[in-house]
């Protein structure tokens, strides 16, 4: 891929450091004191059930939290840039250049009454001062870069005329228009069939290598984690439960919640017809997190301390952190 000269940048790939990040929706704390480090050019997958804080972390890191939500503490650094200190024009400039957000539902993210090429071209006109001819050319180049074989034709179509995979490719072209240092992908393959999903995963991997992207990828699918991730962060109840490299996670997970997730995943792949699936008893906390360990109400290993004392993340090795009082029992 040839980087278009109008938007070529040397700011490719940066370490991402999230420190003590907390986010509240009104009086409800959705994310509490999360620390996360993503080395430059690598992919960290965020996993956990719905309501665990994954999307909140992604929206906070990209400064796209909805009205009523706010970052109450912490920082999000992309290289030497702390996104939590930006507002106004500086924040607008950082979006798409320092960090870009790739939404889950391309149908909802794209304007249904504007042609796809025009939507991509508008990014270049508004954000980069390109004239109409330049912007149209860059839009078609962006579509070609994400693997669309006939970008001239596709650019003239409305989103409803595209397949789900092509809509997601168009959204990727918009997200990467200015070659950001960080790409935050919020379950972008969830609504796609497995064949198209594999194509999109391959595309992101290729673009990551060519652009030097650092990627935070949100997913419920552990098979996607195994395929694309270098490191995995497990969230539960708005807290970081475990963080390690992908091989250690699958072979030596230590937090009871991570272990339970893996049992569900492995059972789902190996279950025979009509054999019941393994599930995690109970449900995630709704409307408030219990005292003590957020997972204690569903954990078979919980004791009195788990019900009253919040476990702090504990470093088990150079690249392995878990927050549990009973780590000795979870080997």
Tens digit of each residue's pLDDT (9 = 90 or more) over 144-167: 999 999 999 999 999 999 999 999
**Is pLDDT above 70 for 114?**
yes
Does 11 score more than 50 pLDDT? no
pLDDT score for 194 = 87
Average pLDDT over residues 100-105: 90
pLDDT digits (tens, 9 = 90+) for 177-232: 988 999 999 998 887 888 889 999 999 999 999 888 999 999 989 999 999 999 99
Residue 75: the pLDDT is 97
Give the strand pairing for 43-47 and 214-218: parallel
Question: What is the predicted pLDDT for the residue at 3?
Answer: 32
Residue 1 pLDDT greater than 60, yes or no: no
Check residue 191 and give its pLDDT.
74
Averaged pLDDT for residues 227-254: 96
Residue 294 pLDDT > 50: yes
pLDDT score of 308 more than 50? yes
Average pLDDT over residues 243-251: 96
- Ranges of H-type helices in the chain: 54-61, 88-94, 106-109, 116-128, 132-145, 151-155, 164-175, 194-211, 222-228, 246-252, 256-270, 304-308
Quote the pLDDT of residue 5: 31
Candidates 10, 52, 44, 5; CA nearest to 261 is: 52
For the chain, what percent of residues have pLDDT higher than 70?
Answer: 93
Distance of CA 177 to the CA centre of its chain: 18
- pLDDT at 83 > cutoff 90: yes
Residue-level pLDDT at 8: 37
Tokens of 155: 């650019």
- Among residues 291, 290, 223, the alpha carbon closest in space to that of 261 is found at 223
Instruction: Find all residues with CB under 8 Å of 304, minimum gap 6, and list them.
Output: none
Check: CB of residue 48 under 8 Å from CB of residue 218: no
What are the tokens at 201?
A: 């995963």
Average pLDDT over residues 295-317: 93
Asked whether residue 63 carries a pLDDT value surpassing 60, the answer given is yes
d(CA 205, CA 301): 38
Model confidence at 12, pLDDT cuts 50, 70, 90, reads: low
Average pLDDT estimate for 282-308:
89
- Comparing 29-43, 172-186, 278-292, the range with the smallest average pLDDT is 278-292
CA distance 235 to 55: 11
User: What pLDDT sits at residue 277?
Assistant: 80
What's the pLDDT at 269?
66
Of residues 191 and 295, more confidently modeled:
295
Question: pLDDT value at position 216?
Answer: 96
283 contacts: CB under 8 Å, gap ≥ 6: 298
Q: Taking the model in full, what pTM does it have?
A: 0.90
CB burial of 149-183 (b: ≥16 within 10 Å; e: otherwise) equals eebeebbeeebeebebbbbbbbbbbbbbbbbbbbb
């Amino acid at each position: 891929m040839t980087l278009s000269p109008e938007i070529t940048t040397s700011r490719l790939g940066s370490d991402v450091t999230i420190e003590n990040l907390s986010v509240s929706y009104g009086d409800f704390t959705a994310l509490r004191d999360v620390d996360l480090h993503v080395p430059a050019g690598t992919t960290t997958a965020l996993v956990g059930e719905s309501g665990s804080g994954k999307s909140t972390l992604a929206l906070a890191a990209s400064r796209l939290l909805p009205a009523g939500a706010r970052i109450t503490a912490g920082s999000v650094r992309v290289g030497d840039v702390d996104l939590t200190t930006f507002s106004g024009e500086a924040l607008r400039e950082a979006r798409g250049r320092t960090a870009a957000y790739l939404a889950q539902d391309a149908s909802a993210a794209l304007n249904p009454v504007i042609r796809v090429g025009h939507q991509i071209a508008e990014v270049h006109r508004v954000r980069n001062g390109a004239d109409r001819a330049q912007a149209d050319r860059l839009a078609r180049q962006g579509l070609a870069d994400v693997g669309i074989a006939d970008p001239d034709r596709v650019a003239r179509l409305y989103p409803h005329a595209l397949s789900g995979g092509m809509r997601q490719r168009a959204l990727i072209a918009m997200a990467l228009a200015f070659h950001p240092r960080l790409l935050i992908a919020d379950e972008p393959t969830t609504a796609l069939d497995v064949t198209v999903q594999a194509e999109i995963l391959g595309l992101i991997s290729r673009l990551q290598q060519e652009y030097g992207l650092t990627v935070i990828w949100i997913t419920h699918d552990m098979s996607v984690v195994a395929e694309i991730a270098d490191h995995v962060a497990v969230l539960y109840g708005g807290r970081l439960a475990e963080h390690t490299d992908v091989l250690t996670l699958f072979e030596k997970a230590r937090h009871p919640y991570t272990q339970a997730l893996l049992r569900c995943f492995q059972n789902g792949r190996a279950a025979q017809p009509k054999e019941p699936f393994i599930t995690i008893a109970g449900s995630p906390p709704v409307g408030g997190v219990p005292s003590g360990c957020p997972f204690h109400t569903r954990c078979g290993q919980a004791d009195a301390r788990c019900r009253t004392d919040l476990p702090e993340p504990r470093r088990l090795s150079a690249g392995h952190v878990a927050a549990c009082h009973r780590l000795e029992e979870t080997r």
